[in-house]
Amino acid sequence: MRKIMFVLLVTASCVYGYGLQPSGFNLVGFPEFEGRFSPEFSSMASFSFTSGSYGSMGQGTYLGSMSFFLHPRVDAKLEMGYSRFMTFSGAGNDFGLVLGGVELNWRPWENTRLSFIYRGALPENNLFPEGM
């Protein structure tokens, strides 16, 4: 409960301190910031394979992200992806991870940036008990 109150207090003080009153702010345009919401999309994919006396293994990963501005000094980034580890020996040790993250950057002054970054991975079994 303390963590939630701390996050709410910090968020409220940042909003109040920077003057982001709800009446002058929306996601598609700030009065001095018209037309800058346009999100940018990017993605990354990789695959690795190794083989040796212990068998063969591979790992494939895909990560997509969307970056956008919320305010002239505040930007955000959302990430979502999937990673799969595969063994080719028939041992059945394959598993997958669902990847995700959020990043929020605030630049109160020109040479200062405060960032909140949260990234994580969940085993696919937690999200899809029956398998994908």
Q: What is the mean pLDDT of each run of 10 residues along the chain (132 residues)?
A: 60 54 50 62 92 84 90 88 84 82 91 92 76 55
Residues 6+ apart with CB under 8 A from 116: 102, 103, 104
At residue 12, the pLDDT reads 58
